[in-house]
Amino acid sequence: MIYSAINDWIPQPGRITRSWSSGLVLLQQDFIGSLSDLGPIAIEGDPFPADDAGTGAKVYGIPEYRDLGNGLQGATVSAYGIVPGKAGVQTLTELSFSLGNIGFTAVETNPAANPPNDYREVYKNFPILITNKKFVKPFFEGSPSTISTPADDDEFKILAIGNIGSMAAGASLKGAAFTVSQIFSNIKLAWSGNHSPRPVNTMITNAFGSSMEFQNFGKVIESSATFQIMPILIDFGEFQVPQNP
């Protein structure tokens, strides 16, 4: 018999290796050994047997043992580790969308009013669709890995859901410019104030607050954080109504 003198666990062909863009890797392999001579191949937290890729994979989940008959036993071992060189790399794993709003504000003043310089703030809100970017990073237990805010927002988008000024639904609004008369029909060009175009400015924010999500793979933890861009309120400033409009 080919396995008549087993004194160690014998790895079987067909090892499964699955990796994620974050650097997380799953190793899974079957082993055959003697039912009487060998103890457990691994317990949770043990290094994966023959991890020649150097991933530092640790066994997570008790190996599945089974009696193969003829004095032999089989074991399926699963382990998680980190692909060398990727532990510190942030990678995009998911794009999603969420609803948001873009706001415009202006102030009307009327020196002829009673009392003089009566102020009336006007505000308009438009629904928009915002892209979200999810980043993940793996780290070994006890060595937390933080995810920094993306440096730029080139891959984020803001899309109009309905018409906003002269912009049609579905248009990309990032960097688009608007004049006060496009947003507020009640403010006339004859009124003194800033009618020059104002571009949409954005800031990157964590879509789920300041916390991160964590997923536990035994000795390896995978952290993730989702970011989005939020448009900054466009303030057209103050407009003075003519005394004799």
Task: Using the predicted structure, report yes or no on whether residue 47 has a pLDDT greater than 70.
Answer: yes
Give mean pLDDT, residues 10-21.
87
pLDDT confidence bin for 56, thresholds 50/70/90? confident
pLDDT confidence bin for 219, thresholds 50/70/90? confident
Task: Using the predicted structure, report yes or no on whether residue 139 has a pLDDT greater than 90.
Answer: no
Percent of the chain predicted with pLDDT > 90: 31
Predicted confidence at residue 31, as pLDDT, reads 92
Task: Using the predicted structure, report yes or no on whether residue 7 has a pLDDT greater than 70.
Answer: no
**pTM > 0.85: yes or no:** no
Predicted confidence at residue 107, as pLDDT, reads 92
Average pLDDT, the chain: 84
Question: Which of 44-58, 108-122, 188-202, 231-245 tops mean pLDDT?
Answer: 188-202
Question: Which of 88-97, 204-213, 234-243 tops mean pLDDT?
Answer: 234-243
Task: Using the predicted structure, report yes or no on whether residue 5 has a pLDDT greater than 60.
Answer: no
Percent of the chain predicted with pLDDT > 70: 90
User: What single string gives the DSSP state of each residue in the chain?
Assistant: -TTTT--S-EEPS--EEEE-TTSEEEEEEEEEEETTT---S--TTPBPTT-TT----EE-S--EEEEEETTEEEEEEEEEEE-TT-TT--EEEEEEEEEEEEEEEEEEEETTSSSSSEEEEEEEEEEEEEEEEEEEEEEETTS----PPPS--TT--EEESS-BTTBPTT-B-TT-EE-HHHH-TTS-TTSBS--S-EE--EEEEETTTT--EEEEETTEEEEEEEEEEEEPPEEEEEEEPPS--
- Interval 85-137: pLDDT, tens: 666 666 666 788 999 999 999 998 887 777 767 788 899 999 999 999 888 88
